Amino acid sequence: MLTFDRTSVLLNGKREFLVSGEFHYFRVPHEDWRRRLRLFREAGGNCVATYVPWLIHEPVEGGIVFGDRPERDLAGFLEAVAEEGLMAICRPGPYQYSELACNGLPEWLCENYPELAAKKLDGSPIHRGSVSYMHPGFLERARRYFRAYADVVRPFMASRGGPVVLTQLDNELTGIHVWFGSFDANPETFGFGREDGRYPSWLRRKYGTPQAMNEAYGTDFASFADARPILSQGDVHGVADERRRHDFALCYYRQAADYLLTLRDWLREDGIDGPLSHNASGSVMSTYFQEACADLAPDFLLGSDLYYTLGQGWGGSNSPTPHYYIDSLFSLDSLRALGMPPAVLEMPGGSPTDMPPILRNDLLACYMANLAAGMKAVNYYVFTGGPNFGETGTTCDIYDYNAAVHADGSLNETYYAMKDFGAFLRAHPELLDMHRVASVQLGFDFDWLRSRGWFSPSKDELDGGHAFDFIQHGLLYTLLCSRYSAEHVDLAGPLDPARPLLVGAAATLSAAAQRNVADFVRSGGRLVITPSVPVLDEDFRPCTILADAICPFRLEARQRPDAPVIAEGRRLYGGKAPRFFAEIPEGATPCATDAATGETIAFERAVGEGRVVVSTLYGNASHYDQCIALESLLDRLGAKPAASSSNRSVFTSLFESPDGSKRALFALNLYSSPQSTDVTLYRDGVPCPPVHFDLQAMEVKYEVRRTKDEG
Amino acid sequence: MLTFDRTSVLLNGKREFLVSGEFHYFRVPHEDWRRRLRLFREAGGNCVATYVPWLIHEPVEGGIVFGDRPERDLAGFLEAVAEEGLMAICRPGPYQYSELACNGLPEWLCENYPELAAKKLDGSPIHRGSVSYMHPGFLERARRYFRAYADVVRPFMASRGGPVVLTQLDNELTGIHVWFGSFDANPETFGFGREDGRYPSWLRRKYGTPQAMNEAYGTDFASFADARPILSQGDVHGVADERRRHDFALCYYRQAADYLLTLRDWLREDGIDGPLSHNASGSVMSTYFQEACADLAPDFLLGSDLYYTLGQGWGGSNSPTPHYYIDSLFSLDSLRALGMPPAVLEMPGGSPTDMPPILRNDLLACYMANLAAGMKAVNYYVFTGGPNFGETGTTCDIYDYNAAVHADGSLNETYYAMKDFGAFLRAHPELLDMHRVASVQLGFDFDWLRSRGWFSPSKDELDGGHAFDFIQHGLLYTLLCSRYSAEHVDLAGPLDPARPLLVGAAATLSAAAQRNVADFVRSGGRLVITPSVPVLDEDFRPCTILADAICPFRLEARQRPDAPVIAEGRRLYGGKAPRFFAEIPEGATPCATDAATGETIAFERAVGEGRVVVSTLYGNASHYDQCIALESLLDRLGAKPAASSSNRSVFTSLFESPDGSKRALFALNLYSSPQSTDVTLYRDGVPCPPVHFDLQAMEVKYEVRRTKDEG
């Protein structure tokens, strides 16, 4: 039995790493199932995952078939899995991707029912094999497939002593819409033109009357039924349009949650119990599932997929670079903010292409970096492949995927990366209940990522997208090179009064989050906010709850090219040019000035029981001076350092057991040359003797330390 | 004395590597000049380069000053350089960049003369510190500065026994316009509204009459003086607009060449002799200097700048990846096509930012990869830095640049990468007259890169930009993983009948190039052309000279998702879906078919004395099967393999001495994990015994082989 909390998964009530490998019974040759399952167990695996493709099991409409041939023998596969002492995750879709024709949907569904397709606002289909989730015609057909699926799998559920511990609902939901065009606006699904339609109903719940809606949108729709959304950023001209676009995004996310609820209900009706999961396609997309996480709790486990490359045209990197690690940190922290254990549900087990290749050291570094970021559960995609049967594959006949075990059964060198990692996990159970030590809370607003379009009333304030980029590649990258560690926290969620809160703020911040942060400060919290203070709420309406609390102030637009001076006269290089305050509150202490004019560009003041630094500093991390500057601001607020690396390009990640008796340190070299460093750990602000690390290219080292070692 | 040909530079008549390091007398503390010059000599350097910033030498208009303080003591610096036995390259601008205020232009020039700014078509300035090169007011002021510069440097010219062997004209010309907006359209410079203005005159030379121009543009301008260009891709609606946009690009390139000619004339008038140089900002921009190379020959040396990172926001990679190497190969080959020795005039000697850091192994791999790509001359930017004096710096007070020798004079670990590379060059003079062995000529058209906007009449044909991307990341990447090596050749230039020509073709190809390729084939050449055959000339007018010669044929737009089959029944995975011929010429031999339908998607036929393979294959390099497929097509045409690597992700570069008696091999691991391979060299198509290589992350190894070793 698999359960979970925000710390990790539990297997039969005991904390354990979930180490799963994707293993497709419909591709891996039947006669080699057992040998490969054992190979995975020997590599440290305790679970396998598989899609159960509708495409393969209902080749002709109405002709659902399981077990007639090895490639459709799901039951036989689950038996083998159980007999090899492994657990299983089933992923019955309906949508799957997996480089399958029609993304794993039946060919007949896509060909014969064009009305079920996800559609752009002009009615054109978004993509072949991309359906409109809540279209009744789609649901009707998917329902039949789910019933047949349940009939096969029910006996294999963990509750009945079987291997199936987790069932995944759909796959990378919303991705197939967003990547190929826009959110789905299928008119039937969203009920345009019908007063009881999904979109009109959503609008009624939010606005009550068409008049209120028209006032918000600057439109003159006669009714909710007449209303139409805006989907594309290009169609947004001003804040009213942006509100209309943003509302539809919320309606769309609500629809995605409803879809997951529907699939859950089907499974439950048919006796599929146990936890359910979903894999968001990457860190940003996991924020789209806020409603789903709330509604499906406590049985719902959201994880995300984190690849570093899917081929040279894909936009990633050839190896797990600092940018990849930064993405992983956000992914796992934001999952925890959603109540989830930090899980990577698709971790590269290979790559669909050969260029760049997936190499052993890179892959091990990728796994170790995710572990250093807090990961407690993983599913490798894929552990092994095999031939696609019939015409079910899109990229190739042989689905090799450069996997740990090749399609032909031979071992890839990357198998040994997986095996090394498996051995590491077995050797280090202490990590299971340890948490990453974070000096600083790095605030984010889910809506900055969910809004997908982004609005800012002036060029002096950031839109949500730019604020997030600043958080990741400005603030977090800088902190990774500093002695302060960071954890992403939801600004609308619980905040820890013991640690400073650092906010790279957008112009918009929900009223609830503004209130939450204001309360945090007034009751004794410490806050650094930069480069401005939010002025709008989640509906893009004026809202200065936070500004009113911490400091009513105004920025001037004027910008200068000069380097600012931080704190003790140290110049800050490489950030963007400073902007100025039009007014500084009385009694505030300047803590950064413009080098040329001496004007204040950051100040500190007391607010209630707490303290706040308001700053205009902004920019990508570029120079180590920025680390020193940020350290200086955080020093003012009494932040506690975690670990400092003499070589700032070697990152550290410090873990601590719940009782504080044991600590463990990761030292990460995520660059392609060897690096050395001396790492000084701090205990309650006091430095311990430094430890030396020599690291090869793309190497992550780990060391457990006991309190007595640190004297 | 420095001279050069297409093979290399010559110093006093003898082939030698030019190993230059950027060394700013206006930043490096005077008292440390000598020590750092010696450090560079010890690292294998034989030359230093320096900007001579107008900003610094004419702080007040009319007050040109040299020698009053160490930071302005150019003469003293050149004396020191000479006494330390080094050569010098001077870069007097006028424009310089170098992270200087106003890009090295005087503050007063930018502030007091807004009319001299480079401008967008709407009259707004493109960027602070970006001038309109041929504006008379700018030229008048720059002329005075150049005279004062010449007065200082004349005695130090190599012809008078001094150290100055090369003078650079301006810096990264056109870049400061293009990066920040568009080509310059300053109305005074381009003479809009004046019949004798630059742009009206250009139009008259091309079109003769306004009627002819209007016919070409679909406009009704009353005169050439009335005509206005199109600059932005967004303003292009159809082929006539594209022609108008493209024409202005040509007029702009002509203007850039005129500017270089003007600067040359000034220098010559003032007694600055010897060769002149210019550094294009990257491989693509070097193609903008076709006119300049023709007009300034034979004293003009064009090189390009090749950085792999300039900070995390810059879009490069953390290390010199295969994409960087591919860019270097094009850069150096295209410079040779322009008659130049393969020179990198700004090679990373550091980076303006700390994130990502410049690390020793990465840097050495970068240098070695450029050498493997054919480089014979290099200037490190920068070898060492120092404080900016006054308010002359933009990024910082201290210009450290993470250089080999830090601003404070201490040695960076990267100094040893430079030193290792210097020692390597000294130990391997045999490379000086060796050339890279290329099995295949990889054709390109300068205009595909110069057109900067790109037009294609239908989605079945590529525009120039996509054709170039296909050449680099489809064809060349594939060839790097194959046993065939490649050299980029200008399709309008000389073609070698002994080697097949591979063309990734755009819809447009100049009539001259079409004729050239047709003649090449008819007289016995072998050609592979894919994914279509050009249908337009350089003016986007119908032109089928090449198609008529090799095969009149038509593509059908219909596309299929199935994997094509190449040659001996091998399926090709990962390319784009094949497209079909509407007709196949009689007597043609099919050599690739669509797997699902059996339809031909590539055929071979005889044309005159030659042979041609016409193919519709297209796509980024993704699977090694594509290497096998391309090898199969090239086998048909009798291409001679160079070297095959058992591990296709380890690249090779084979060099041969002019008499064929000596060969040398580079094995390149441009990924971040260790790799091994066995490399088989071929001599006239016959394999030699394989050689084993174990390579660390980002390691390039080298081995000299004599004919007798290869028995």
pLDDT in tens, B343-387: 999 999 999 999 999 999 999 999 999 999 999 999 999 999 999
pLDDT digits (tens, 9 = 90+) for B456-477: 877 778 999 999 999 999 999 9
Chain B residue whose CA is closest to A671: B318
User: B622 to chain A: which residues are within 8 Å by CB?
Assistant: 311-313, 352-355
User: What does the pLDDT read at residue A496?
Assistant: 98
Range 591-630 of B in CB contact (< 8 A) with A: 596, 620-624
Name the β-bridge partners of B411. B405
DSSP run (H or E) holding A188: helix A187-190
Closest CA to A282 of A255, A303, A258: A303
Query: Do residues A526 and A610 lie in contact, with contact meaning Cβ atoms separated by under 8 Å?
Result: yes
Residue B703: CB atoms within 10 Å: 14
- Any chain B CB within 8 A of the CB of A55? no
pLDDT digits (tens, 9 = 90+) for B579-638: 777 778 888 998 888 777 778 888 999 999 999 999 888 888 888 888 988 999 999 999
- Any chain A CB within 8 A of the CB of B413? no
What is the full DSSP assignment across A251-292? HHHHHHHHHHHHHHHHHHHTT--S-EEEEESSHHHHGGGHHH
Q: How far apart are CA A330 and CA A335, in angstroms?
A: 8
Query: Do residues A43 and A418 lie in contact, with contact meaning Cβ atoms separated by under 8 Å?
Result: yes
How distant, in Å, are the alpha carbons of A508, A576, A624, A651, B639 from that of A619? 19, 5, 13, 20, 52
Range 550-569 of A in CB contact (< 8 A) with B: 561-563
User: What does the pLDDT read at residue A709?
Assistant: 61
Whether residues A312 and B620 touch (CB distance < 8 A) is answered with: yes
CA atoms within 13 A on the CB side of A94: 30
DSSP A472: I
Say which residue the tokens 């299983």 belong to.
A88
Tell which of A309, A310, A388, A573 to mutate to test the B interface (max B CBs under 10 Å). A573
Chain A residue whose CA is closest to B362: A673
A40-54, B293-307, B547-561, range with the lowest pLDDT: B547-561
Whether residues B353 and A574 touch (CB distance < 8 A) is answered with: yes
A710 has a pLDDT exceeding 70:
no
User: What does the pLDDT read at residue A394?
Assistant: 73
Q: What number of helices (H) and strands (E) belong to chain B?
A: 21, 32
Using H for helix, E for strand and C for coil, what is the string for B248-314? HHHHHHHHHHHHHHHHHHHHHHCCCCCCEEEEECCHHHHHHHHHHHHHHCCCEEEEEECCCCCCCCC
Closest CA to B654 of B634, B679, B630: B679
User: What does the pLDDT read at residue B239?
Assistant: 93
What number is the average pLDDT over the span B566-589?
A: 69
* Sheet containing B651-656: order of strands: B435-436, B651-656, B662-669, B699-706
Range 354-373 of B in CB contact (< 8 A) with A: 354-357, 359-362
Within B600-690, strands assigned E span 600-607, 610-615, 643-645, 651-656, 662-669, 675-683, 686-687
Q: How far apart are CA A288 and CA A139, in angstroms?
A: 21
- Which of B360, B396, B621 is opposite residue A312, by nearest beta carbon? B621
Which burial class, exposed, middle or buried, applies to A375 when counting CB atoms under 10 A from its CB (0-12, 13-18, 19+)?
Answer: buried
- Minimal C-alpha gap between B649 and chain A (Å): 7
User: What does the pLDDT read at residue A618?
Assistant: 87
pLDDT digits (tens, 9 = 90+) for B501-536: 999 999 999 999 999 999 999 999 999 999 889 999
Query: Do residues B567 and B601 lie in contact, with contact meaning Cβ atoms separated by under 8 Å?
Result: no
Q: How far apart are CA B168 and CA B377, in angstroms?
A: 15
Q: How far apart are CA A506 and CA A530, in angstroms?
A: 9
What number is the average pLDDT over the span A348-353?
A: 94
User: What does the pLDDT read at residue A363?
Assistant: 98
User: What does the pLDDT read at residue B165?
Assistant: 98
Query: Do residues B669 and B702 lie in contact, with contact meaning Cβ atoms separated by under 8 Å?
Result: no
User: B101 to chain A: which residues are within 8 Å by CB?
Assistant: 561
- Which of A322, A352, A571 is opposite residue B397, by nearest beta carbon? A571
Name the β-bridge partners of B90. B50, B167
Give the contacts of B176 (CB within 8 A, at least 6 positions apart): B95, B97, B103, B118, B126, B127, B129, B130
B574 has a pLDDT exceeding 60:
no
Chain B residue whose CA is closest to A619: B313
Name the percent of chain B lying above pLDDT 90: 81
Query: Do residues B698 and B320 lie in contact, with contact meaning Cβ atoms separated by under 8 Å?
Result: yes
Q: Which amino acid is at A455?
A: F
A197-211, B25-39, B228-242, B570-584, range with the lowest pLDDT: B570-584
- Minimal C-alpha gap between A364 and chain B (Å): 10
- Any chain A CB within 8 A of the CB of B400? no
Whether residues A573 and B675 touch (CB distance < 8 A) is answered with: no
What number is the average pLDDT over the span B314-328?
A: 95
- Minimal C-alpha gap between B400 and chain A (Å): 11
Whether residues A357 and B481 touch (CB distance < 8 A) is answered with: no
How distant, in Å, are the alpha carbons of A177, A638, A680 from that of A641? 43, 9, 10
User: What does the pLDDT read at residue B685?
Assistant: 86
Q: pLDDT averaged over chain B?
A: 93
pLDDT digits (tens, 9 = 90+) for A157-182: 999 999 999 999 999 999 999 988 88
Name the β-bridge partners of A302. A278
pLDDT digits (tens, 9 = 90+) for A6-27: 999 999 999 999 999 999 999 9
Tell which of B317, B395, B482, B573 to mutate to test the A interface (max A CBs under 10 Å). B573
The token duo for B579 is: 């497209």
- Any chain B CB within 8 A of the CB of A193? no
Pairing mode, if any, of strands A564-566 and B600-607?
unpaired
Tell which of A110, A355, A562 to mutate to test the B interface (max B CBs under 10 Å). A355
Chain A residue whose CA is closest to B696: A697
Whether residues A394 and B697 touch (CB distance < 8 A) is answered with: no
Whether residues A322 and B356 touch (CB distance < 8 A) is answered with: yes
User: What does the pLDDT read at residue B585?
Assistant: 83
Residue that wins the pLDDT comparison between B312 and B667: B667
User: A360 to chain B: which residues are within 8 Å by CB?
Assistant: 673
Q: How far apart are CA A395 and CA A374, in angstroms?
A: 34
Q: Length of chain B, please?
A: 711
Q: How far apart are CA A389 and CA A527, in angstroms?
A: 58
Q: Predicted confidence band at A612 (pLDDT cuts at 50, 70, 90)?
A: very high
Q: Which residues of A194-216 are buried (b: 16+ CB within 10 A; e: fewer)?
A: eeebbbbbbbbeebeebeebbeb
Whether residues A622 and B355 touch (CB distance < 8 A) is answered with: yes
- Any chain A CB within 8 A of the CB of B7? no
B557 has a pLDDT exceeding 60:
no
- Minimal C-alpha gap between A206 and chain B (Å): 39
A474 has a pLDDT exceeding 80:
yes
What number is the average pLDDT over the span A69-88?
A: 98
B114 has a pLDDT exceeding 60:
yes
Q: How far apart are CA A303 and CA A283, in angstroms?
A: 9
User: What does the pLDDT read at residue B709?
Assistant: 61
Using H for helix, E for strand and C for coil, what is the string for A340-407? CCCEEEEEECCCCCCCCCCCHHHHHHHHHHHHHCCCCEEEEEEEECEECCCCCECCCCEECCCCCECC
Q: Which amino acid is at A454?
A: W
What number is the average pLDDT over the span A416-426?
A: 98
Say which residue the tokens 């950027």 belong to.
B22
DSSP run (H or E) holding B555: strand B555-559
Whether residues A396 and B317 touch (CB distance < 8 A) is answered with: no
Q: How far apart are CA A555 and CA A579, in angstroms?
A: 7
Q: What number of helices (H) and strands (E) belong to chain A?
A: 21, 32
User: For chain A, how are helix, strand and coil distributed in percent, rounded to 5?
Assistant: 35, 25, 40
A392-401, A577-586, B651-660, B667-676, range with the lowest pLDDT: A577-586
CA atoms within 13 A on the CB side of A624: 17
Q: Where are the alpha helices (DSSP H) in B494-557?
A: 511-522, 545-550
What number is the average pLDDT over the span A43-63?
A: 97
Name the β-bridge partners of B88. B48, B164
Residue that wins the pLDDT comparison between B532 and B90: B90
What number is the average pLDDT over the span B280-298?
A: 96
CA B550 to chain centre: 31
What number is the average pLDDT over the span A398-427?
A: 96
Q: Predicted confidence band at A480 (pLDDT cuts at 50, 70, 90)?
A: very high
B707 has a pLDDT exceeding 70:
no
User: What does the pLDDT read at residue B552?
Assistant: 65
The token duo for A382 is: 């894929």
User: What does the pLDDT read at residue B483?
Assistant: 97
A145-149, A444-448, A519-523, B567-571, range with the lowest pLDDT: B567-571
Residue that wins the pLDDT comparison between B547 and A571: B547
Residue B420: CB atoms within 10 Å: 17
Query: Do residues B337 and B489 lie in contact, with contact meaning Cβ atoms separated by under 8 Å?
Result: yes
Residue that wins the pLDDT comparison between A400 and A575: A400
User: What does the pLDDT read at residue B597?
Assistant: 74
Q: pLDDT averaged over chain A?
A: 93
Pairing mode, if any, of strands B675-683 and B699-706?
unpaired
User: What does the pLDDT read at residue A560?
Assistant: 55
pLDDT digits (tens, 9 = 90+) for A290-336: 999 999 999 999 999 999 999 998 888 999 999 999 999 999 999 99
Which burial class, exposed, middle or buried, applies to B392 when counting CB atoms under 10 A from its CB (0-12, 13-18, 19+)?
Answer: buried
Closest CA to A369 of A306, A286, A433: A306
pLDDT digits (tens, 9 = 90+) for B206-253: 999 999 999 999 999 999 999 999 998 889 999 999 999 999 999 999
pLDDT digits (tens, 9 = 90+) for A653-689: 999 999 999 999 999 999 999 999 999 999 888 999 9
Q: How far apart are CA B519 and CA B516, in angstroms?
A: 5
Q: How far apart are CA A204 and CA A222, in angstroms?
A: 13
The token duo for B461 is: 């044909």
- Highest-confidence segment of A550-559, A698-707, B316-325: B316-325
Strand, coil or helix: what is A33?
A: helix
Q: How far apart are CA A709 and CA A701, in angstroms?
A: 18
- Any chain B CB within 8 A of the CB of A697? yes
pLDDT digits (tens, 9 = 90+) for A355-369: 999 999 999 999 999
pLDDT digits (tens, 9 = 90+) for A135-158: 999 999 999 999 999 999 999 999
